[in-house]
Structure 1
Amino acid sequence: MLFWILTGAVALAVAAGLAWSVVAGRRATGPAEAFDIRVYRDQLGEIDADAARGKIDAVEAERLRVEISRRLLAADTKARGETVAAAQPQAMSRAMAGVLALVLLGGGYALYSQLGAPGYRDMPLQLRLEMAQEALKDRASQAEAEAAMPQGQQAEAPEDYRTLVEKLRTAVAERPDDLQGQILLARSEGALGNYAASYEALQNVVRIKGDKATAQDYADLADMLVLAAGGYVSPEAQAALERALQLDKSNGVARFYGGLMMAQTGRPDIGFRMWDALLDDSQPDDPWVEPLRAQIEEMAIRAGQNRYQLPPLQEMAGPSAADVAAAGEMSEGDRQEMVRGMVSRLSDRLATEGGTPEEWARLVTALGVLGDTEQAGKVWTEAKQVFAGRNAALDTIRAAADRAGVTQ
């Protein structure tokens, strides 16, 4: 209410000032007439001074006084006439004042109703950042999030499959330290939609592996935690994500859910930057690309990136790791011919359209297979310029350069 009182008072004050200017306004004497009057008065004083010093005789002095006085009178009469004529017509002035007040008050209210947020308190940037930090620290736990979830139906599966899973549960319960059993149980429960049971098995996988647990183990654990909470990234899921990124900062699952967590805690700006970089580093068939592309435009709007445009989904091109491995089983001539064709196509596309770090790494690897270490080195040098400042991308290509025998 105080907001409306203050803004209304300010608007009324401005409207009143404008209305008064329109109703009571009169045009002052024009600058040309005022200047002429001052000049003529100065000339009269100079004539008197010249006559007193004897520079001009009395007859000439009187003639000049008469002429200048006549001009002075004419200028003064003109100035007075224009001032009287400049008075504003009262009826038109009052109508204009009313229109101005209506436009200022009504237009201001209509504009704020469309663009503003009536009833919301002031939200400066520092306050929003503090609220986001509090939301990150005080958000619901995994157990609380799961308790708030409605009971979901399990995925459809043949009865014999369910029977096998039930037997697997019994066997794993009897041998809780059986690593392969826990891995198989986690996959089976996840396939049935039993995400809570799946992440419990994955927790056991991490426990059994200990220091040998991989980034993918932690990313899989975080994935099941998020799915069990209906898409919510809990503190427990965050811990798994952070551990995955410590082990492999390029892990796509961890980066995707990390961006989602930032959006859920009031920092869509950070979330968008994480997703945008992840999209650049991803292959079209990576499992996180489809959900990322479905949500990144909304994330961009929330982050204030209103001009963001989703890049087109490029088809994969060039030799994959499997292609290069298969080439090793061919005859020397066939292998060289196949790899040269793939290298040529990929090199042309990267030069004209650009590509992901993985595609640059494939090109370097393929050139190494061909024994063209010099060209592989040139590609690596160019990649360092293209991906400057993006350490994860450079690490991917650097590893390929090492395998190709490129001198760093």
Structure 2
Amino acid sequence: MIDSIFWAATGIITLFVAGILVRALRRSTAGTPTDGFDGQVYRDQLSEIERDSTRGVIADDEAKRLRSEVARRLLAADRADDAADAAKPGPRSVPVLGVMALVLAAGFGGYAYLGQPGYGDLPLKARIAEAEKLRADRPNQAALEAALPPQPQLEAIDPEFLALVEKLRAAVAQRPEDLQGQQLLARNEANLGNLIAAYKAQEQVIALKGDKATDADILTLATLMFQAADGQVSPEVESLLQAVLKRDKRNDTALFFIGILNMQIGRYDLAFRYWQEVIDTAPAGSPWLAEARSRIVPLAEVVGVRYVLPDAPAATPGMTPELSGPSAADVQAAQDMTPEDRQAMIRSMVEGLNDRLATEGGTAEEWARLISVLANLGENERAAVIFAEAQKNFAGRDAELAVIQAAAAQAGLAP
């Protein structure tokens, strides 16, 4: 209904303006300043003769003769004007009407191509109000999980590994206050793709730690819940992220996920601010730095901000081993270690990388590195689980998937 009224009003206004322009054109071409000049002079003479006759300046006979003479000249002048009007070309409105038709066609056509015909007016204030309503009314974590289809089971999982996880579940059920058991359960459930069970175990980890729970523990829980909701930021996850930001306003993980939340509700302006903060303040090794850099330029165009992406920061010295691999000092130390100690150091680095990828994510190269290392350690089943999770995380990103698939193929996990 509103759409019909809009187009009707637009058409009426267009016709009205066109009529005014054509009318003005006809007036401008109807005659020149000298048209009808003689006739007006003769009419003035007739008026003058009447006044002189009334005052007695001229005799009645003379007045009658003058009237006849001037009237004859007036008739002749009128006939001449009529003949001139008949010989004049018509008003030059056809070219103007043609130009107007082209302008109207370009205007309506351009609006149909670039605009949104059929949509009502949506000013900025209304858009913000609608987005904030979406924020307030979005489903909670349980509702988001209930709306998802059943998740398919991961393939190529070692039955022995599954048996070990079953034993771990039984042990944790008997000893729910076993902190280390809950931590292992959360990690292994996540590796199996059982994200709800994983974050439930992580909730127990935080409860058991109490005041000693770290921001990393909370972010692990938030990430697992985010994944369990298939990439939707629930109110519960938002509360966890905001709690971290209160203590560390530059935490790159929390900033990035709050940006995702604002993207999901349509507050692209706020998402841009959060991701710009990630780009400006995140450490060089942050996985969210690369993510924010890859998304912020098109987001800036949507927001209407002229944004120039800064140069990527170089890797900083002192980067942790799980981010950059062993340092020269680590290699030298490893040469003096016993085989058992060397294996323990490698295991520590692998577990550190695994934990970070599970909680914070990472680049395709880091996922590929973890797959390769696990395969070299003989843990092909676990490498297959990591490969399946990486394929899910990088779905639709062909260039990054190619890196991961190449590592899996070299490890014998993919053709």
TM-score (norm 2): 0.59
CA shift, 1:326, in A, is 9.3
Q: Secondary structure at the match of 1:204?
A: helix
Q: Secondary structure at the match of 1:25?
A: helix
Q: Is the 8 A contact 2:278 2:288 kept in 1?
A: no
What is residue 20 of structure 1 aligned with on the other side?
23
CA shift, 1:181, in A, is 1.2
What is residue 260 of structure 1 aligned with on the other side?
260
Is residue 140 from structure 1 mapped to residue 143 from structure 2 by the alignment?
no
What does the per-residue CA deviation read over 1:209-262, in whole Å, with 9 as the maximum and x for residues that have no partner? 222222111111111111111111011111111122223222221111011111
| Distance change (3 Å), C-alpha of 1:159 and 1:294 | farther
Is residue 149 from structure 1 mapped to residue 148 from structure 2 by the alignment?
yes
Q: Is the 8 A contact 1:186 1:199 kept in 2?
A: yes
What is residue 273 of structure 1 aligned with on the other side?
273
Q: Is the 8 A contact 1:255 1:278 kept in 2?
A: yes
What is residue 226 of structure 1 aligned with on the other side?
226
| Distance change (3 Å), C-alpha of 1:321 and 1:284 | closer
| Distance change (3 Å), C-alpha of 1:124 and 1:280 | same
What is residue 118 of structure 1 aligned with on the other side?
117
Output the CA distance in 2 between the equivalents of 1:16 and 1:258: 56
Q: Is the 8 A contact 1:25 1:88 kept in 2?
A: no
What is residue 198 of structure 1 aligned with on the other side?
198
CA shift, 1:29, in A, is 7.2
Give the alignment of 1:66-145 within 5 angstroms.
89-90=89-90, 93-145=92-144
What does the per-residue CA deviation read over 1:11-47, in whole Å, with 9 as the maximum and x for residues that have no partner? 22122222223333239979xxxxxxxxxxxxxxxxx
Find 2:10's aligned residue among 7, 12, 15: 7
What is residue 212 of structure 1 aligned with on the other side?
212
Output the CA distance in 2 between the equivalents of 1:261 and 1:297: 18
| Distance change (3 Å), C-alpha of 1:247 and 1:171 | farther
Q: Which amino acid aligns with 2:201?
A: A
| Distance change (3 Å), C-alpha of 1:302 and 1:195 | farther
Q: Is the 8 A contact 2:172 2:181 kept in 1?
A: yes
Give the alignment of 1:368-387 within 5 angstroms.
none
Output the CA distance in 1 between the equivalents of 2:311 and 2:146: 40
Alignment size in residue pairs: 273
CA shift, 1:275, in A, is 0.4
CA shift, 1:321, in A, is 7.1
Q: Is the 8 A contact 1:12 1:105 kept in 2?
A: no
Q: Secondary structure at the match of 1:294?
A: helix
Is residue 303 from structure 1 mapped to residue 303 from structure 2 by the alignment?
yes
Q: Which amino acid aligns with 1:209?
A: K
Give the alignment of 1:225-244 within 5 angstroms.
225-244=225-244
Output the CA distance in 2 between the equivalents of 1:139 and 1:265: 9
CA shift, 1:281, in A, is 1.7
What is residue 63 of structure 1 aligned with on the other side?
none
| Distance change (3 Å), C-alpha of 1:236 and 1:141 | same
Q: Secondary structure at the match of 1:231?
A: coil
Q: Which amino acid aligns with 1:189?
A: E
Q: Is the 8 A contact 1:189 1:198 kept in 2?
A: yes
CA shift, 1:265, in A, is 1.4
| Distance change (3 Å), C-alpha of 1:191 and 1:18 | same
Output the CA distance in 2 between the equivalents of 1:232 and 1:303: 22
